[in-house]
Structure 1
């Protein structure tokens, strides 16, 4: 590659950003000639960059020839908002990790699936080996069971109908009626536990959190030889979950 490739690429990126900014100012779209004029770009250059931006989804070309912002930018905006929300609660997760010397996990129930949003671990608080994705192991993890416990009956049945209750360890609950019975009779509610049901040698405890109307769970994992600390862990989880819910629910 030549020495001029770098600056040329940077210039192209800058020009593309200028076109996006110009297009964003026109709710009903603007034609290429107008965008070229507003950005001070040669028309041929504007046409080339506009085609590229449309092809990549950052702009959309209307039937009348105007250009408006594309769906890709909305996706980036949504992802950026999610990152900003998580940045609010990472300090609380890190404090929980440091106090309890356990990895901390945050999940959300989105589009019918239980998904990990954040894991805060460290040398003294390693995360559990996620050898099976949480989307397929909600029945076997405290984080997943916490979400299932909070769902209404119809939503629970829908989730279970779409997910095989695989026996990940000899301790995994694979009977739907038994799983639901245990969720409804948890002696430490609203907390739930996973006693080596996801991975032998590891126990977990989790409690519910919310991001607005979106249900989630906050939990920690620890070696089974620290099982006697579960009461202490649960006592710290509940106030942290309240702080996380407040942080996630603040208007941005």
Structure 2
């Protein structure tokens, strides 16, 4: 296994391919061993051979892509954990992807779990700050398409009552403005979401606190927004995870 990985790493260092003898020399492997490993790796799709030269195959490229994705996700998780420890409230990161709301990751604060997902987040975007923030970043056509698939319905006694009222609220939300929601999705919980827009991608970072700590919500959201402004490059990269 180690020899195969060493050989893959050696091939990866040659953008325009390399012959078996050169790969054996650079990887420090015996030539018969190299030929055996190359045949196996080509058969499994990790390498491909063209005119006597070896290149990375589709399977290796998928591994590379998956590894990069995991690294980006780990960066987001670490960032959320640091912000949660700094601010002392649960922090959430969500994106709008392929027509659906996707809460990528969340970091709960000690002694204060985040809002429980007691109703499907994708179907209740009209009710929570995360969904409202993402919907406010969409164009009118995409927004109406989402609401056609996930109609406005009561989730708590405080939920926006109908689609017309929701659309009016979203239209009044200015670009880059905080979205605040109080007990519309979960009784006893208030939330704030900060929009992140990069090109056509819509994303948000959000926080929640118990309703009896409502006075903490806005200061915590403003502090998070300031931290986000200092890390805009990291957030931009991470939207693709």
The question of a shared fold, defined as TM-score above 0.5 by the shorter chain, is answered with yes
- With over 3 angstroms needed to count, the CA separation of the structure-2 counterparts of 1:62 and 1:198, relative to structure 1, is farther
Report what 1:245 is aligned to.
Answer: 232
Deviations 1:77-122 (A, max 9, x none): 4314523642673365224532xxx211122233333322332223
Task: Report if aligned partners of 2:38, 2:47 keep a CA contact under 8 Å in 1.
Answer: no
Task: Report if aligned partners of 1:205, 1:219 keep a CA contact under 8 Å in 2.
Answer: yes
Report what 1:135 is aligned to.
Answer: 122
Task: Report if aligned partners of 1:112, 1:159 keep a CA contact under 8 Å in 2.
Answer: yes
1:20 aligns with 2:12: no
- With over 3 angstroms needed to count, the CA separation of the structure-2 counterparts of 1:184 and 1:240, relative to structure 1, is farther
Alignment of 1:54-203 (within 5 A): 54=45, 59=46, 61=48, 66-70=54-58, 71-83=61-73, 85-86=75-76, 89-90=79-80, 93-98=83-88, 102-173=89-160, 175-185=162-172, 190-203=177-190
Aligned residues: 230
Deviations 1:131-181 (A, max 9, x none): 344333322210121121122223322333343445433433363222111
Task: Report if aligned partners of 1:140, 1:198 keep a CA contact under 8 Å in 2.
Answer: yes
Residue number among 202, 210, 213 corresponding to 1:223 in the alignment: 210
Deviation at 1:217, TM superposition (A): 1.3
1:208 aligns with 2:195: yes
Task: Report if aligned partners of 1:104, 1:121 keep a CA contact under 8 Å in 2.
Answer: yes
Deviation at 1:237, TM superposition (A): 4.1
Moved more, 108-117 or 200-209: 108-117
* Cα RMSD, aligned residues only: 3.5
Secondary structure of the structure 1 residue equivalent to 2:132: helix
Aligned partners of 2:227, 2:77: CA distance in 1, in Å?
Answer: 15
- With over 3 angstroms needed to count, the CA separation of the structure-2 counterparts of 1:159 and 1:30, relative to structure 1, is farther
